[in-house]
Amino acid sequence: MIREKIAKIAAAVNDLTAKSQEEVEALRIQYLSKKGQISELFDDFRNVPKEDKREIGQLLNQLRDAAQNKLVELKAIIDTTQSTADKHDLTRSADTIALGTRHPLSLVKEEIIDIFSRIGFSVAEGPEIEDDWHVFGALNFPPEHPARDMQDTFFIEQNPDVVLRTHTSSVQTRIMTSQQPPIRVLCPGRVYRNEAISYRAHCFFHQIEGLYIDKNVSFADLKQALLYFAKEMFGEETEIRLRPSYFPFTEPSAEMDISCDLCGGKGCNFCKHTGWVEILGCGMVDPNVLKACGIDPDVYTGYAFGMGVERIANLKYRVKDLRMFSENDVRFLQQFQ
């Protein structure tokens, strides 16, 4: 009888739980106080036959110790959880994580890509470390052209054939030599020129190149695409003007101006009182370039254009010092959301 009672209480003690010190105290009273269940068993001990006293006595002592230990354990668990709750304000809302902002050049680059992607252009990229042929040779630069000069191009002394690309037109070469028309790509990327760093020049900057080659592509297509771009980028009222120019890789070539949106074309300091600001170079891909890249100039024609991302960003955000774009000053960067 008493053995079963001891086993039953021992099992119950083993499974005890409590959520507060008050509950622990209630358990103490239930099991260990003078009138508690375990104490009552000790009272019954008197009636245990002599020959069993030794064994039952041990069982009872074990049970009492187990119950005392269990209550100490429960107390300790409640103590530690309560003290962490005291130290920390569990009702406080979580700290917000400071979110970064997109870099202004990325914002502008993505906007340009978005505008041209709506008229069928996809994005292509090429290496920044190039060879002479992809940057100059294939693009119809004569061997003595000044752009190859040490003043402009970073090249590796041990091997003058290895250069940092000076323009993203090198990606045109890569696309045309690996793909047959129709080709309609936009090539964004970083370019390098050996220039003294100042508020208006840096030794690296970013360009976006456009290239469209197919049958019957005309200068009118080029003009229409660029007019669409200017209006999307700078507003519906924007006008464009194309001035004849020269690039080795296009014939005819032009530079494009947009009407100055600061003075509305009336003339101000920003547009040097001309009412126009230059934004890109463009032209019809020179047949020599098509030929060099394995595209038949008797079947295909194409147009190309190239613009500086910093320049466009400047028109949008009026950043006076170009160096701001690469200095990573968060006070500057935070202003572009």
CA 200, 205, 208: angle at the middle one, nearest 5?
120
Q: What is the DSSP string of 106-157?
A: HHHHHHHHHHHHTTT-EE----SEEEHHHHTGGGT--TT-GGGSTTT--EET
- Report the interhelical angle of 219-234 vs 309-317 (nearest 10°): 40
Distance between CA 100 and CA 109 in Å, rounded?
18
CA 291, 296, 298: angle at the middle one, nearest 5?
115
Distance between CA 202 and CA 23 in Å, rounded?
74
> If binding is defined by CB under 6 A, does position 281 make contact with ligand DAH?
yes
Q: How far is the CB of 222 from ligand DAH (least distance, A)?
A: 9
> If binding is defined by CB under 6 A, does position 209 make contact with ligand DAH?
yes
Q: How far is the CB of 93 from ligand DAH (least distance, A)?
A: 52
Q: How far is the CB of 99 from ligand DAH (least distance, A)?
A: 35
Contact (Cβ atoms closer than 8 angstroms) between residue 333 and residue 128: no
For ligand DAH, the binding residue among 188, 189, 283, 302 (CB under 6 A) is 283
Q: Which stretch binds ligand DAH (CB under 6 A): 153-161, 181-189, 279-287, 322-330?
A: 279-287
Q: How far is the CB of 152 from ligand DAH (least distance, A)?
A: 10
Q: The tokens 């009182």 sit on which residue? A: 273
Closest CA to 261 of 233, 223, 225: 233
- Is 13 or 191 the residue whose CB approaches ligand DAH more closely? 191
Q: The tokens 């970064």 sit on which residue? A: 100
Q: How far is the CB of 187 from ligand DAH (least distance, A)?
A: 9
> If binding is defined by CB under 6 A, does position 189 make contact with ligand DAH?
no
For ligand DAH, the binding residue among 153, 250, 259, 301 (CB under 6 A) is 250
For ligand DAH, the binding residue among 169, 173, 259, 314 (CB under 6 A) is 169
Binders of ligand DAH among 286-305, rule CB under 6 A? 304-305
> If binding is defined by CB under 6 A, does position 247 make contact with ligand DAH?
yes
Q: Which positions touch ligand DAH (CB under 6 A)?
A: 167, 169, 209, 247, 250, 281-283, 304-306
